[in-house]
Amino acid sequence: MPSSARVALITGCGKPIGIGNSTARALAAAGVTVVVSDVVSTGVANEHNVEGDLDSSWGGVDSLVEELVKSGRTASSTLGDVSVEADAGRMVEEVLGRYGRLDILVNNAGAPQGADRNEIEDVPVEAWDKTMGVNARGAFLMSRAAVPTMRQARWGRIVSVSSKAAFRPGRHRAAYAASKAAIVGFTKSLAAPTGANMATISKLASPSAPRRSRSAASAVPTRSPR
């Protein structure tokens, strides 16, 4: 029997701080059942770590779920690579198998910072592909997998996390800025009110990580609210 509460799938939740972690906590506090995910339980650290990226006591998505459940929330986890089509589909199917519905998708997973942060002639093609694969292709594949069940339910929300770098990119950010600009264009198109579809776009920022705050566009790829 489907869950009576809204259900959200949030990607990129493995690290102890960040938008994924804080989004999961906020949604859970609002009564939403949350499924948190990452490519590995603790996420993938940046090559040049910032404070809080590494914490030996942190168990990743398992720790996050444990904390949420102890506080009386409903939560579970799943692992997968958002840039792999089979993984994206499987994660959505796992949510549907557990709770019978998926109402909210938060595309927060981001490629770890590393070789992409260089002069353009020094950026390996592999680093470009990885950044575009996780940030842009990942949002596409996850949304592609989630939209059919949202359409069927006639209600849904998709939030894809972008960045101010999509509009004001800095030096050594070519791959990152391109991937985040792709998310903006993708989400605006997904949210376009065509035919009988209803759509909205909003911008969000994470107060828990002000130095790395990022904008997000929210889309409703469904026909009418329930």
For range 101-110, the mean pLDDT: 95
Among 35-49, 68-82, 100-114, 144-158, the least confident range: 35-49
**pLDDT recorded at residue 55:** 75
For range 132-156, the mean pLDDT: 94
| Residue 224 domain-assigned (yes or no) | no
**pLDDT recorded at residue 222:** 46
**Are β-strands 216-219 and 157-161 bridged in parallel, bridged antiparallel, or unpaired?**
antiparallel
Count how many domains the chain has.
1
- DSSP symbols for 120-131: GGGS-HHHHHHH
In the predicted structure, residue 76 carries a pLDDT above the cut 50: yes
pLDDT category at 202 given cuts 50, 70, 90 is very low
Q: Where are the alpha helices (DSSP H) in 74-160?
A: 85-99, 125-132, 138-153
The residue type of 44 is V
> Domain of 87: which CATH number?
3.40.50.720
| Residue 225 domain-assigned (yes or no) | no
In the predicted structure, residue 144 carries a pLDDT above the cut 80: yes
pLDDT in tens, 107-116: 999 998 889 9
In this structure, are residues 68 and 25 in contact, taking their beta carbons and an 8 Å threshold? yes
Q: Which residues are catalytic?
A: 176
| Residue 155 domain-assigned (yes or no) | yes
